[in-house]
Structure 1
């Protein structure tokens, strides 16, 4: 039986931006921008490409807590430094990914890397919140550093481009990031005229962010820079053809069919668990981190 095409549900323009701290100008595609089913991905903040002026004091977001999920930050332009209360720190440059599991609770801060801040320049990032199932919400915090130079890559035929596998599997090439539920997270870097094929289970929630360029989806729909392509749960095969050189962030995952109780930086299953998180944070149980 021939596999069915996964139909495009909608091509969504970037919602109006808002600032997170003074360093991230983001368009929230979901859950606030559009009410679309994307579990296990709970939130997508897209910092479309902008120019930041040079500055001695790095812009960013000060110390704040998280519990019950993971943050995944993907750099396309610029550089971001990170510190957390579990003792992890690092800098991500274009092509790099940091995958932080907040789990039972963590404090962290994110800001423009010092040298980038002093020079200024183009800045473009994505941050995802990946939900954790109830059984893993109180897992120990951890940090996965996925450097572009070490990332698993699949070279497409006929010079079409390459698929960078951050997590999951593309044609037998596995990403190094480990996940709590089944999901795929790729960057497709396609050359003009290049074509790529994707195969995800019909029931997995799937979306593409067009980071750069223009792409034709399933030989019919055209999406361009800063748009989000949302797919129906009705098939498995997707084709993407680059109408010009393009970069596409591809996310697909098995939904976590559990209740959600979210308040600010806490993503739990029940309101009382959110209240417990607030109490624990106020009592200093998330550790300590210098401002």
Structure 2
């Protein structure tokens, strides 16, 4: 098997606020023009200290259609409510996977106790596109606590791979997906070496959440950088140069047209018009 070569090691783009609770670097689609389908958007909230306050910061009620939102916590705590009746709080290491599909309203904000104390905050949010045949399926919600994630222990206590979705060395991820997606948190101790194997056609990128790593014995990537890989070869070798956490993303591309408008991700302009009409008619449900 051939090595999957690095396409680019990218610094985080300038940050912007989403609501008043998330200070994010958008790696794609606006920060860099990367081919990462089925991953449509990656907002990375690098570490930031939030001061204490009684009124939780966050993002108010807003709609989505046509895709899934995935939020992974590394520091801090986020609460979620949606119009399908789902709610949850994610703490460091937890994952929240919301399928908006035919339409949902939701809001996300700092969990009340975290807000009152303030502190270190670090999160990732992804938008994952759905194929046309699934865009109008029913909304659903998958909340997974860190201790519920399936794990692969690396030899000699050098670290572990938390399998969120997909399959790593026969350890199957905790989340169900509509298209083939591999998503792991690799938690590596200093000096650990680990190999990943993804099909050549899969779009692949790694976020360095913590620490620094050597990729394929050559290039170095450090905290807050994004490693984008070429669609050539299959094997990636990572060596941790210090204790490190890496978010691993790889997925089979959805080769369909995309028309995006704000919080909607559809295949045609007509479907965007229908989404707006349905939203205005209250078909996405109700949420205060």
Q: TM-score range by the shorter chain?
A: over 0.9
User: Secondary structure of 2:14's match?
Assistant: coil
Partner Cα distance (2:96, 2:103) in 1: 17
Q: Answer yes or no: is the 8 Å Cα contact 1:14–1:226 preserved in 2.
A: yes
Report the more deviating stretch, 150-159 or 52-61: 150-159
- In the TM superposition, residue 37 of structure 1 has moved relative to its aligned partner by 0.3
Partner Cα distance (2:194, 2:106) in 1: 37
Write the mapping of 1:119-268 to structure 2, written as runs, cut at 5 A. Answer: 119-268=117-266
- In the TM superposition, residue 194 of structure 1 has moved relative to its aligned partner by 0.4
Q: Answer yes or no: is the 8 Å Cα contact 1:160–1:196 preserved in 2.
A: no
Partner Cα distance (2:156, 2:222) in 1: 23
Partner Cα distance (1:115, 1:153) in 2: 29
The aligned counterpart of 1:280 is 278
Q: Give RMSD over aligned pairs.
A: 0.4
Partner Cα distance (1:233, 1:172) in 2: 24
The aligned counterpart of 1:16 is 14
Partner Cα distance (2:40, 2:158) in 1: 32
User: Secondary structure of 1:226's match?
Assistant: coil
Residues 242-288 of structure 1: CA distance to partner in whole angstroms, max 9, x if unpaired? 00000000000000000000000000000110110001001100000
The aligned counterpart of 1:7 is 5
- In the TM superposition, residue 132 of structure 1 has moved relative to its aligned partner by 0.1
Residues 187-210 of structure 1: CA distance to partner in whole angstroms, max 9, x if unpaired? 000000001100000000000000
The aligned counterpart of 1:52 is 50
- In the TM superposition, residue 120 of structure 1 has moved relative to its aligned partner by 0.2
Q: Answer yes or no: is the 8 Å Cα contact 1:159–1:194 preserved in 2.
A: no
With normalisation by structure 1, the TM-score equals 0.99
Where does structure 1 differ by over 2 angstroms across 4 or more consecutive aligned residues? none
Number of aligned residue pairs: give it.
288
User: Secondary structure of 2:250's match?
Assistant: strand
Structure 1: runs of 5 or more not aligned = none
Structure 2: runs of 5 or more not aligned = none
With normalisation by structure 2, the TM-score equals 1.00
Residues 143-169 of structure 1: CA distance to partner in whole angstroms, max 9, x if unpaired? 001110111000011222000000000
